[in-house]
Amino acid sequence: MTLGVLAALATSWVGGWTMVKLRQLNAFWAGRRRDALEAGARGSVVSLQLMGMTADLVRGAILTAIAYATLGALANASIQVWTVDDRLSRCIVVGVAASVAGGAAWKLFHSTLGARWFFVGGLAVGLFLLFAI
């Protein structure tokens, strides 16, 4: 389970990087069609959207195929070698999940005025309900 979480995090990191590169490619394509886009040419807008969606489909398919091929073999090899106590493995997974969730929450809520207090209040109410029931 720990390897699965680490593999998913690595794949999502690579996926985020490839998404940035795809956005740069989309901007390049849009820049080449700037005159047609400014004129409101429907065909240019539609073709640009189709190119972007197709490129994203191909990006996702390639990323999935590479991750499945490399990480599947790695998981099979490591299952035979790695002997970690189940409790330690679960502890690592929960720790990684908590840090990822905390980072995501910070990224979403740190820039809005007052959102920290709403987040802390919601967390407190949620924890209260969790332990009260």
What whole-number distance in Å separates Cα of residue 22 and Cα of residue 16? 10
Among residues 29, 74, 21, 35, the alpha carbon closest in space to that of 51 is found at 29
Residue 27 pLDDT more than 70? yes
Residues 65, 43 share a domain = yes
**Rounded mean pLDDT of the chain?**
86
Residues 47, 36 share a domain = yes
| Domain span including residue 117 | 85-133
Q: Answer with the one of 83, 100, 115 that is the final residue of a domain.
A: 83
Tens digit of pLDDT for each residue in 70-112?
888 888 888 778 777 878 878 888 888 888 888 877 777 777 7
List the structure tokens of 106.
């910070």
Rg of the chain over Cα atoms, rounded to whole angstroms, equals: 22
Residues 93, 52 share a domain = no
Residues 122, 63 share a domain = no
Q: Label residues 70-96 b or e (16+ Cβ within 10 Å = b).
A: ebeeeeeeeeeeeeeeeeeeeebbeee
Q: What is the pLDDT of residue 1?
A: 67
Residues 101, 118 share a domain = yes
Residues 75, 49 share a domain = yes
Displacement of CA 54 from its chain's centroid (Å): 19
Query: Among the residues of the chain, which ranges form H helices?
Result: 2-32, 34-38, 42-81, 86-109, 115-132
Q: What percent of the chain has pLDDT over 90?
A: 35
Q: Answer with the one of 83, 100, 116 that is the final residue of a domain.
A: 83
Structural domains of the chain, count: 2
Residues 58, 6 share a domain = yes
- Collapsing DSSP to helix, strand or coil, 85 comes out as coil
Model's pTM, two decimal places? Answer: 0.61
